[in-house]
Amino acid sequence: MNVSRRNFLLGSAAVTGFSMFGGCSLFNGPVAKVARGQKIRLAVCGIMGKGFTDWLPMIQSGLAEIVAWCDADTAMRDKALGNMSQAKFQFPGFDFDKLSKVPFYTDYRQLLDNCARLGVHAMTVSTPDHTHAPVAIAAMKQGIHVYVQKPLVRTLWENDYFKRTAKEYGVITQMGNQGSAADGMRRGVEVLRSGILGEVKEVHVWTNRPVWPQGKGAADATLGAADPIPAGFNWDAWLGPAKDRPFKGKYGEGKKGYDPWNLCSNVYHPFSWRGFLDFGCGAFGDMACHTMNLPFRGLELENITKAECKMIEDFNDIAYPMKSIVELTYAARDSKARPGVRLPEVKLTWWDGGNDKINHRPSPDLMPQVVASLGKVPVTGCLVVGSKGILCSTNDYGGQSFIALNDEKKVLDIFDHPACKDIPTTLPRCKKAADDDKNVAVSGGGAAAVSVDGHYTEFLTAILEQGPTFEETNSRCYSDVDFSIPIMEGILCGVVAQRIPMTVLNWNSKAQKFDSAQANALIRPYLRSGFTF
């Protein structure tokens, strides 16, 4: 790492840092500006997996072009180019030869060193969780707008640092909880904010994750001598700020333990990293940004005050548990949607490990109207319990929700329930929702089904200073920092609670501290020499 960038990233050159990178004039000031008629110059950090489904819709929109990409594994670039060469990924105006000649880096620090020269306006950050903050924060300090996959960051210290940097440099950010663009999710928010459920003090959120190795089986696989590092894989850059350790390749026969979807043959890379404390946030960090999205927005939740892990299975100090129950307490607050109304304290209970084999979900007794209508508790979703009724979302992204008032035996879709008909539309809608029928299915569909418009185009048009502004985020992006930081704060408090189970952890958001020295020791990440930011 060169000296000028190290000084800048350590914060010693907040005012003059742009000249250190050389090329301030490319940005027309501290924030990247796009000339009229010009495409947004996009750098891609993390190419395949969710990375592929992040950058593909952006260039497919016609608003952006890739000018640089980065991945610690050169094989990911080859896979991406192979995908794009197939007919089903072609679209009018796509220049495959141009994409194949885009500058490629295996170390994100090298990409950051060259962003000014390349004239980068925006960047996608779709890397393992532990490098989200190092990449995104350094990019924002160059005036670059960032689309960062969920979870936004891995630790509470990074969460606060991310917010302060985004505010100081005036950049646009979007967290990758792409279901936020769905019309059904936004309608669900409007329904909850209307007060139709009366006083809400209880919420349950659950997921079928993990669907990758976690627990002691994953932890045991990290032990022993190093395996050979594959050709073309920059292990040092992939580790980034994390503690150095031996590279581990494939799981031994019968050693990986739980892996119901058979997704993970390798210990760390690709995909399996999310089960490890040093690299990911486990099932909670992976999915709560989606499944908590609807109740968090709809109930206008703000300050997390307590977190307690009330149940845990397969606890260890290397990998996340196989399943857990974590209770988050959110403070009472004044409603912005209904001025003059005081909203009560909310207990939000998180359940992970809820796939069909383990069946770790809230009891059917909590939602008899849902079970009467749907036959069972959904595999994933959320339940909002009010004094006048319930609302249940039945998928990861909040795109479909059902409601029943107290005197009703079954739930109805919120678009069909008579009591919801007169609730006004208050939130802007995307031109095409993220769950539109015209989605481009890639990498097996499901979570990888992406839209040409939706959440991605909202990010791009915000950079172009187009589109409505959301009051909630003071931004043209629905998942900008005024939303993503508060929801991440609660999730990350829950992740800390998983590491100190059966203990009530009181959190002071203003001071960014717990009332526990053990918990406070987990607020900051380890920063390896050469990878500070």
Give the pLDDT of residue 507.
98
CA distances from 76 to 49, 79, 103, 478 (A): 9, 5, 14, 30
Residue 270 within any structural domain of the chain: no
Residue 266 within any structural domain of the chain: no
Residue 302 within any structural domain of the chain: yes
Neighbouring C-beta atoms of residue 506, cutoff 10 Å: 15
Q: Are residues 472 and 506 in the same domain?
A: no
Residue 339 within any structural domain of the chain: yes
CA distances from 249 to 38, 160, 214, 223 (A): 44, 34, 16, 12
Q: Are residues 350 and 454 in the same domain?
A: no
Q: Are residues 203 and 331 in the same domain?
A: yes
Q: Are residues 18 and 110 in the same domain?
A: yes
Residue with tokens 């997921």: 207
Residue 359 within any structural domain of the chain: yes
Helix H, strand E, coil C: the string for 424-485 is CCCCCCCCCCCCCCCCEECCCCHHHEECCCHHHHHHHHHHCCCCCCECCCCECCCCCHHHHH
Could you list the residue range(s) of the whole structural domain that residue 326 is in?
Answer: 181-211+281-429+489-520
Kindly give the parts of the chain with pLDDT less than 70.
1-29, 87-94, 254-261, 355-358, 431-453
Q: Are residues 133 and 192 in the same domain?
A: no
CA 159/CA 157 separation, integer angstroms: 5
- Report pTM: 0.91
Q: Are residues 394 and 356 in the same domain?
A: yes
Do you know the residue count of the chain?
533
Q: Are residues 325 and 388 in the same domain?
A: yes
Residue pair 178/456 in contact by the 8 Å Cβ criterion: yes
What pLDDT, in 10s, does the model give residues 324-378? 999 999 999 999 999 999 999 999 999 998 766 667 899 999 999 999 999 999 9
CA 207/CA 401 separation, integer angstroms: 16
Residue 256 within any structural domain of the chain: no
Q: Are residues 305 and 324 in the same domain?
A: yes
Residue 220 within any structural domain of the chain: no
Residue pair 7/13 in contact by the 8 Å Cβ criterion: yes
- Residue 28 CA, chain-centre distance (Å), reads 30
Q: Are residues 445 and 511 in the same domain?
A: no
Q: Token pair of 316, please? A: 């260890």
Q: For 354-367, give one letter per residue: b (16+ CB within 10 A) or e.
A: bbeebebbbeeebb
Q: Are residues 167 and 290 in the same domain?
A: no
What is the tally of structural domains in the chain? Answer: 2
Give the pLDDT of residue 257.
62
Q: Are residues 342 and 468 in the same domain?
A: no
Residue 310 within any structural domain of the chain: yes
Least Cα distance to 330 among 347, 342, 349 occurs for 347
CA 261/CA 444 separation, integer angstroms: 13
Q: Which amino acid is at 158?
A: E
Residue pair 66/102 in contact by the 8 Å Cβ criterion: yes
Which DSSP string corresponds to 347-402? EEEEEE--STTT-----GGG-HHHHHHHSS--SSEEEEEESSEEEEE-STTS--EE
Give the pLDDT of residue 261.
67
Q: Are residues 134 and 53 in the same domain?
A: yes
Residue pair 346/202 in contact by the 8 Å Cβ criterion: yes
Give the pLDDT of residue 91.
61
CATH label of the domain that carries residue 45: 3.40.50.720
Give the pLDDT of residue 260.
62
CATH label of the domain that carries residue 379: 3.30.360.10
Angle at 480 (CA atoms; ends 474, 481), nearest 5 degrees: 90
